[in-house]
Amino acid sequence: MAEPTYDSIIIAGEPYKLDGVKVVTWQDPGGMSFEAHVGEALAKTGSGLFSNRRTAKGAPIKDLDELKKVVHMVVLHTDLTYDSDMCFRVLVDRGLSTHFMIDWDGTVYQGLDVLYQAYHAGDANDVSIGVDLNNLMRNLVREPDEPPYAPTHPRFGEMSKKEFKRPRSRRMRINGGDVQSYGYTDAQYQALIGLLKVLTKVLDRIQPFPPLDERGEIIPNTLEDGLGFEGFVGHWHVSASRWDPGPGFDWQRVYHGLAREHNAFPIEIEDGKNIATLLEPDKVEAYAEQYYRNNEESSDGGWYPIGINQTWHGGVHLHKRAGADVKMMFDGVLVAGRFGKKPVRMGNNNFLVFRHEVPIPRRGKDKTKPLVFYTLYMHLAPVDVTVDSRDAFEWVKALRRVDSGKAEEDLEALEGGAADDADAEEEPVEEGTPDPTAVAAAEEDTSGILGVEEDDDSEYDTKPYLEAGAVGQLVGAFAEGKIAKIPWKERPIKVSSGEVIAQVGKFGPPDDWSPMIHVEIFAPKGWDEAIDMSVHGRYFVEIEADLDGDLFCDNHAILDLFGGGGYLSQKASLVPQRVVTPMDIEDLYTSVGDYVEERRWLRTVISRHVSEWSDQVDWVRALSKAEGWDDQIDDFKEAIKQAGIFRDALVDVLPFVWLSRDVAEHIGLPVEAWDGVVYHFHPVHFLQWLTFHASQRIQVISKGMTLRQIKAQLAKEEKLRKKGELKENDACVAATLEFEDIESVNTREVLQEWFGGSDQGDWKIPWDEDEEI
């Protein structure tokens, strides 16, 4: 059996990693297994603790695809116990269960595969996932001096540390009750957000929001259609007699965490420090300055939007040790990528491309339109996707699942489809897919050419160009060093912000590489229909487009930053444009204390020019008279053979060209008049804007019950309970616990607030029964 990783939850038998969160499943040493205690629970209560979920036709759910159709809600509970270990024991004693327990220190315990229904929320069990948050949750309205932790707990000293502080809540009406309690620890929120991010990614009917009213505030009472809600809810939203997770639960923090406030910087300059740990905009903004300095104070020329040779540069170089983690900046889907076993002469040409679609609310009554953009991570360290390992990146595991699970008809649809009739004509080769004969000939004829010797023992990858695999060729394409075109529409591989997706590779002149990655954000035309510049114009400056294919930057707004004498006018030279000296460009970016406002302005620039990765750059087009990338292969072979001063440069650069018309069309870029031109944004500046200034939160308005409806619901539940018809084994811990079964006297007293008793009148207050609360 493989060693436990303590970082992954299990959904339908498959592990899914939670970044930065300790996870202990029922399979791990020290884990808590409801299945292992079924016999004990049956003997005590007659409950089997859990059961199969059912399809609409009543058949047991057996796999992830079926699970996705049924589960659409996460119910948050408070365990009312000392810690998650006690919570588990109490649940078993009462014939109840839950899927996840989040302890006071942020450890996530999984007691049951999400494939099965736990007994935690009555009628909501079949469509929901249960999460029990550790908290004694005393009602401070009644017991204002009670501490947040039990002083007799063996780890009370550790609980008392600042990092595990539980803030005291304000008073709040919940389902007719006047309550106040202590809240939850930072570690619990971080763990819960990480858990919900994975659940909402994998089970896409679960939306990343709670029940909110028209003002954007949490509904404080049971929902009118609680069982139909798609998102995450408190127990009080589905049961009129409950008030967990209590007034101390910070709904906005979790909501914002899922609404992309937990986007991430692509590397961590300080290990363990990212947006998810900083949270506050001022702290994130201050930390972002380290990323600007990391990029701009380097002399390798990887600046935005202009490089050291006055060429357009659509991204930034960020520097960290080789092998350091590279993180996903935004939630998105993988659309293309490539990994080779060996570097090329200028370092690693491995890359991943992700597509993102984010709704950006517009001013007034204008309809919200999604912002579509892409992130590129280039110069990544090699990844072997053929290895089946628990330590593999989550997108690699998903890739292997998609690759191994697709049916023949799926492949046929992805690749253009085979004819249904046996006599159908053979489908033409997909445009952009290299012809095997031409590829073989090109590889054969490049032997002996400088930089492209076909030698398996060479330290470099000697293929002089990149070729794309067929759509649907996934693991195979990566294994062969081809550009893998992921079927992102049919079988999307979703990746959450903050996930580790790769490791830092190397790039630089031959034999002088440095560890770094290139990070880039680009978008097709139409971004301005999603971003209302009358609202967001203070964050961005759109400069004049450069539609030439030579990558030479001659934009007046940028060149004027260098002043009248900051460039050389070479009217008699082969380059008639204004030319800025490399020294002046380097000084502008690297001079500490000087040109501060100029650099800030450059970060806001939205540039439009041919992509440096495109086959439409002049020097690439000049190599070939052919129309398609596959036809250019022969021309590249011949061009590289020719002696000339540009031969070495072509050998160095060609292995980085990946954005052909074929690949562009696949990832969703418009290609009607393909010229390789896209819009570019500074990735760090864009990250800050989207995280804190885009206000992209789109909420679904919910409606709660009135007090009259709550009272009617409570009366109905009590009537069923007296008849013995209420499904007690499906209720929460607090609704069914008997006093003698609780190990702590303090906990027993707290539980009185959950089911009648002398405390009931202390926390119930009257108001208009028709008031919506």
Q: What pLDDT digit, counting tens, does each position of 278-324 carry? A: 767 788 899 999 999 999 999 888 999 999 888 899 999 999 999 99
Neighbours of 386 (CB within 10 A): 11
Provide the pLDDT for residue 321.
96
pLDDT tens column, 93-132: 999 999 999 999 999 999 999 999 999 998 899 999 999 9
Dihedral (Cα; 471, 476, 480, 486), 10-degree rounding: 40
Out of 218-232, 668-682, 739-753, pick the least confident.
Answer: 739-753
- CB-CB contact of 243 with 176 (8 Å): no
Residue 444 has pLDDT above 70, yes or no: no
Q: What is the dihedral of CA 248, 249, 253, 256, to 10 degrees?
A: -140
pLDDT the model gives residue 534: 77
Structure-block tokens of residue 747: 């906990």
Sequence-distant (6+) residues with CB within 8 A of 518 are 302, 315, 316, 317, 376, 377, 378, 379, 507
Contact 352, 334 (CB under 8 A): yes
Residue from 358, 353, 387 nearest 370 by CA: 358
Beta strand 100-102 pairing with 350-360 = unpaired
Predicted confidence at residue 367, as pLDDT, reads 62
pLDDT of residue 420: 42
Q: What is the structure's pLDDT at 190? A: 92
The pLDDT-based confidence of 360 (bands split at 50, 70, 90) is: confident
Which DSSP string corresponds to 364-433?
TTPPPEEEEEEEEEEEEPP--TT---TTS-HHHHHHHHHHHH--HHHHHHHTT---SSTTPPPPPPPTTP
**Orientation of helix 683-692 relative to helix 281-296, angle to 10°:** 170
Q: What is the pLDDT of residues 145-180, one digit of tens each?
A: 999 999 999 999 999 999 999 999 999 999 888 899
Beta bridge partners of 508: none
Q: How confident is the model at residue 621 (pLDDT cuts 50, 70, 90)?
A: low
Please tell me what DSSP assigns to residue 756. Answer: S
Read off the pLDDT of each residue in 46-66 and give the average, rounded to a whole number.
93
**Which position has the higher pLDDT, 622 or 618?**
618
Model confidence at 185: pLDDT above 60 = yes
* Band of residue 642 on the pLDDT scale cut at 50, 70, 90: low
Q: Over range 538-551, report the average pLDDT.
A: 90
| Residue 6 pLDDT level (bands cut at 50, 70, 90) | very high
Those residues whose C-beta lies under 8 Å from the C-beta of residue 65, and which sit 6 or more positions away, are none
Q: Residue 32: what pLDDT? A: 98
Q: What is the pLDDT of residues 722-754, one digit of tens each?
A: 666 655 444 344 432 222 222 332 333 333 433
Q: Determine the Cα–Cα distance for residues 676 and 550; give it in Å rounded to an integer.
A: 11
36 pLDDT more than 80: yes
Domains of the chain: 8-262+706-763 (3.40.80.10), 280-414+468-617+657-692 (2.70.70.10)
Mean pLDDT, residues 761-766: 31
Of all residues in the chain, the percent with pLDDT exceeding 90 is 51
Residues 6+ apart with CB under 8 A from 762: 139, 141, 142
Cα separation, 121 vs 118, whole angstroms: 8
Percent above pLDDT 70 for the chain: 74
CB 731, CB 98: distance < 8 Å? no
In the chain, count H helices and then E strands.
26, 27
Tell me: the pLDDT tens digits for 335-355?
A: 999 999 889 989 999 999 999
Whether residue 425 has pLDDT greater than 90: no
pLDDT(709) > 80: no
Is the distance from CB of 568 to CB of 575 less than 8 angstroms? no
Calculate the average pLDDT of the chain. Answer: 80
- Long-range Cβ contact pairs of 436-445 (< 8 A, separation 24 or more): 438/630, 438/631, 438/633, 438/634, 439/467, 439/630, 439/633, 441/634, 441/637, 442/633, 442/634, 442/636, 442/637, 445/637, 445/641
Band of residue 622 on the pLDDT scale cut at 50, 70, 90: low
- Across residues 216-232, what is the average pLDDT? 87
DSSP 468: B
Q: Is the pLDDT of residue 366 over 70?
A: no
Residue 415 has a pLDDT of: 44
Q: What is the 3-state secondary structure (H, E, C) of 476-508?
A: HHHHCCCEEECCCCCCCCEECCCCEEEEEEEEC
* pLDDT surpasses 50 at 763: no
Ramachandran bin of 756, using left for φ above 0, alpha for ψ from -120 to 50, beta for the remaining angles: left
Give, for 691, the enclosing helix (H) or strand (E): helix 683-692
Average pLDDT estimate for 528-532: 83
Residue type, 482: K
Question: Which residue would you say has higher pLDDT here, 390 or 767?
Answer: 390
Residue with tokens 């919506």: 772
pLDDT in tens, 468-506: 777 667 898 998 899 999 999 988 999 989 999 999 999
The answer to whether residue 633 scores a pLDDT higher than 70 is no
Within 10 angstroms of residue 172's Cβ, the number of other Cβ atoms is: 18
Contacts of 759 (CB under 8 A, 6+ apart): 139, 142, 752, 753
Three-state SS annotation for 271-301: CCCCHHHHCCHHHHHHHHHHHHHHHHCCCCC
| Least confident interval from 174-183, 548-557, 620-629 | 620-629
Give the pLDDT mean for 515-534. Answer: 91
Distances (CA, A) of 670 to 470, 616, 674: 19, 14, 7
Please report which confidence band the pLDDT of residue 62 belongs to, taking 50, 70 and 90 as the band edges: very high
**Of 28-32, 113-117, 631-635, minimum mean pLDDT range:** 631-635
Lowest mean pLDDT, pick from 34-48, 484-498, 638-652, 747-761:
747-761
Q: How confident is the model at residue 632 (pLDDT cuts 50, 70, 90)?
A: low
Judged against a pLDDT cut of 80, whether residue 575 lies above it is answered with no
What pTM was estimated for this model as a whole? Answer: 0.66
- Cis peptide before 245, with omega less than 30 degrees from 0? yes
The crossing angle, in degrees rounded to 10, of helices 436-445 and 629-641 is: 10
Beta-carbon neighbour count of residue 668 at 10 Å? 15
∠ CA 40-44-48, rounded to 5°: 60
Highest mean pLDDT among 231-240, 453-462, 743-752: 231-240
Beta bridge partners of 503: 325
pLDDT classification of 573: cutoffs 50, 70, 90? very low
The answer to whether the peptide bond before residue 305 is cis (omega within 30 degrees of 0) is yes
Task: Compute the distance between CA of residue 646 and CA of residue 206 in angstroms, rounded to an integer.
Answer: 55
What span, in angstroms and rounded, lies between the C-alpha atoms of 671 and 395? Answer: 28
Q: How many CA atoms lie within 13 A of 151 on its CB side?
A: 2
